[in-house]
Structure 1
Amino acid sequence: MKKILMVCLGNICRSPLAEGILRSKVNSDEVFVDSAGTAAYHVGELPDSRSIDVARKYGIDLTYQRARKFTEKDFAKFDKIYAMDEHNYRNILSLAKNKEEAKKVKMILNEINPQQNLSVPDPYYGGEQGFENVYQMLDEACDIIANRL
């Protein structure tokens, strides 16, 4: 079974969306998808209501998810770790113990625009349209990821 982890800062906006989107595109018997945050601000909380709403608009339920913090143990548990932005990418890499762990970490938008290291904007302060835009970016990246699995 392939195991994929989506990571943003608080694990309430971008990474829960990415988790939900990718889960909707893969066979759960073959691919396990989870999400986490590099900060512990929201541990145990539901995703942001705006993430829940935009996902629901596309038939995806995020209400089973609860925020958790990324830990060093995630390197052993997951085959690929997708960072939503460069700040979180660096935070994840700072916990890697070796090159093998570091090789698992990718910027998610590099799936769409290889080697450009573009960040998924944090929609937290960006209003409703920000969540829609983030959904569309992640949906496109997750299509590519799912097709490769």
Structure 2
Amino acid sequence: MFKKILIVCIGNICRSPTAENLLREALDRSDIEVSSAGLCALENHPIEPTARIVLEEHGHLSKEHKANQLTPAAISKSDLILVMEQQHIGGVLKIAPEARGKVFLLGKWQNNREIRDPYRQGKPAFVHAYTLIEEAVNAWTKRLAR
């Protein structure tokens, strides 16, 4: 059983906080803790404004967020680590090779679909990323909330 899930992207201001919000909300009746971090986090930055707007437009309240740098300790404490792109798996394993076997794409259940970074793109890119994240979170929730 997974107790701590960590969601990772690059800056920890767009994709991973969006996925963190959605997964935490979906698992709110469980005792699973969900957090997020970035491989090259823009530490202490809030969620990107367009990402926040897209979350809110889809009926989600974005919790207070401050970007966190991925650390060996965060990896060690996590039972499952979900990343956005294949290269992020390598980034996590470079920090903590012992994490092999607990790092997967968020889009694993959508044929290992990657979710590209919408940062510094227009709102349509954020909406597209949100849609892919929501589909992936729903697929993981079915498997985690048993």
Provide TM-score, normalisation by structure 1. 0.89
User: Aligned letter for 1:31?
Assistant: I
Q: CA shift at 1:90, angstroms?
A: 1.2
Residue 53 (structure 1) aligns with: 53
Q: Distance in 2 between matches of 1:60 and 1:51?
A: 11
Unaligned runs of 5+ in 1: none
Residue 133 (structure 1) aligns with: 128
Residue 112 (structure 1) aligns with: 110
Q: Tell me, yes or no, if the aligned pair for 1:83 and 1:108 is still in contact at 8 Å.
A: yes
Q: RMSD in angstroms over aligned alpha carbons?
A: 1.5
SS in 1 for 2:34: strand
SS in 1 for 2:140: helix
Residue 94 (structure 1) aligns with: 94
Q: Tell me, yes or no, if the aligned pair for 1:121 and 1:134 is still in contact at 8 Å.
A: yes
Identity score, percent: 32
Q: Tell me, yes or no, if the aligned pair for 2:21 and 2:63 is still in contact at 8 Å.
A: no
Q: Distance in 1 between matches of 2:128 and 2:97?
A: 35
SS in 2 for 1:106: strand
Q: Distance in 1 between matches of 2:117 and 2:30?
A: 31
- Cα deviation, 1:38-64, whole Å, max 9, x if unaligned, reads 013x11110100110000111212241
Moved over 4 A (4+): none
Q: Tell me, yes or no, if the aligned pair for 1:47 and 1:63 is still in contact at 8 Å.
A: no
SS in 1 for 2:81: strand
- Cα deviation, 1:2-60, whole Å, max 9, x if unaligned, reads 211110000001001100111111125511111100013x1111010011000011121
